[in-house]
Amino acid sequence: MKDLLKDKEYDLVSVIYNASQAADTCRQYIQDARGDQEVERFFNDVVDTNADLVQKGKDLLKNRLQ
């Protein structure tokens, strides 16, 4: 795949993937943290931050692949 994309585009795909994985992982952590609101809020913040990064990365990639 890397041969088909420039390094920066490949890097964007990698960051999008990893941020998406981190958000999914933290969704499970939220379930594990039920009852501890402070930790639950922290994991929710991590999910939100990673979701924002995924969207920004997708937007950047889309603009570069058009």
Q: What tokens appear for 42 in the block? A: 């922290």
What is the rounded distance in angstroms from the CA atom of residue 59 to the CA atom of residue 66? 11
Residue 5's pLDDT is 59
Residue 1's pLDDT is 52
What is the rounded distance in angstroms from the CA atom of residue 39 to the CA atom of residue 11? 31
Of residues 3 and 19, the one with the higher pLDDT is: 19
Residue 66's pLDDT is 80
What is the rounded distance in angstroms from the CA atom of residue 20 to the CA atom of residue 30? 15
Q: What tokens appear for 4 in the block? A: 């088909």
**CB of 12 within 8 A of CB of 60?**
yes
